[in-house]
Homo-oligomer: A and B are copies of this chain.
């Protein structure tokens, strides 16, 4: 396996074996991510962090990942501070930025933008989310979290809850879980259910899929993956209003859950999970957030060729 110089645009760019290798490297990174061990593995390297759209989690965890490994970061957190205001094309911005760095992490509101950037750039591009498109590092940290919390990815029954229609990162996650032969339950109001093509693909990959419109039975679920209803992805605000607040995970719901159920959420959450749940053993979402650091460390070290 060779990761040096590779782009990370979509989870589909990787085989199952490659995904497992990334998770193994992330595992080794844990003590550095926790600040317990110091590292200068990426000393002298510069990561450009180009956020054409706001983000706390993805940006800060990538920056921490780079800095915990001794690397440096340049970039912008909002596009209004850049030449884009002066009418520059994305291709030119990328070709400029790559003159100044060894790897580019980007988030952009336009689907397909990361793929386009990867075509223009000679340095590796890591996609930190391209609008309604892909978000492969989120998918990898989700897999890492499931493996870490439950011992393995295989053998779990995983429920995906929330906006399964517009939240396309959930489509990537469903694909990745199917790759690991995980049976899934898709729980969403009818307006927000998983698109047919995703369901079909999962079934063709040999996994069992159930579809539900509400949350009432959690008895046999091992992992409950909750998503936020992303107002900004709805073409019609009326459609948003109908489904906003249509589900909420609280203590009452958890009475019927397995003892070792874990609850995940990519965060930020709004009202989907009641704060009272935070104090239960089920709540894995803050540990999941932390896992973004070792996973992103692994990717940076791999594409920069400092780890094989």
Chain B, Cβ-Cβ closest to A293: B100
Chain B residues with Cβ below 8 Å from A208 are none
Chain B residues with Cβ below 8 Å from A85 are 54
A86 within 8 A of B: yes
Q: Which A18-70 residues sit within 8 Å CB-CB of chain B?
A: 35, 38-39, 43-46, 48, 51, 54-57, 59-61, 63-64, 67-68
**Inter-chain contact B99/A290, CB cutoff 8 Å:** yes
Task: Give the copy number.
Answer: 3
A228 within 8 A of B: yes
Complex CA gap A39/B68 in Å reads 18
**Inter-chain contact A77/B81, CB cutoff 8 Å:** yes
Chain B, Cβ-Cβ closest to A75: B60
A72 within 8 A of B: yes
A92 within 8 A of B: yes
**Inter-chain contact B96/A286, CB cutoff 8 Å:** yes
A267 within 8 A of B: yes
Shortest CB distance A17–B (Å): 29
**Inter-chain contact B267/A88, CB cutoff 8 Å:** yes
Complex CA gap A50/B44 in Å reads 24
**Inter-chain contact B268/A102, CB cutoff 8 Å:** no
Shortest CB distance A49–B (Å): 10
Shortest CB distance A192–B (Å): 18
A280 within 8 A of B: no
Q: Which residue in B61, B100, B292 is a CB contact (below 8 Å) of A61?
A: B100
Chain B residues with Cβ below 8 Å from A286 are 95-96, 99
Shortest CB distance A157–B (Å): 27
Chain B residues with Cβ below 8 Å from A59 are 81
Q: Which A88-115 residues sit within 8 Å CB-CB of chain B?
A: 88-89, 91-93, 95-97, 99-102
**Inter-chain contact B55/A102, CB cutoff 8 Å:** no
* A56-B76, A67-B72, A83-B268 given; 16 more Cβ-contact pairs under 8 Å: A35-B102, A38-B43, A46-B64, A54-B83, A57-B96, A60-B96, A76-B77, A78-B80, A86-B228, A86-B230, A86-B268, A88-B269, A95-B289, A99-B290, A99-B292, A100-B290
Interface residues, chain A, with chain B CB atoms under 8 Å away: 35, 38-39, 43-46, 48, 51, 54-57, 59-61, 63-64, 67-68, 72, 74-78, 80-89, 91-93, 95-97, 99-102, 228, 230, 267-270, 275, 286, 289-290, 292-293
A selection of 13 A-B contacts at a CB cut-off of 8 Å is: A54-B82, A56-B76, A56-B84, A56-B93, A56-B97, A60-B97, A64-B74, A64-B100, A67-B74, A78-B81, A87-B268, A88-B269, A89-B275
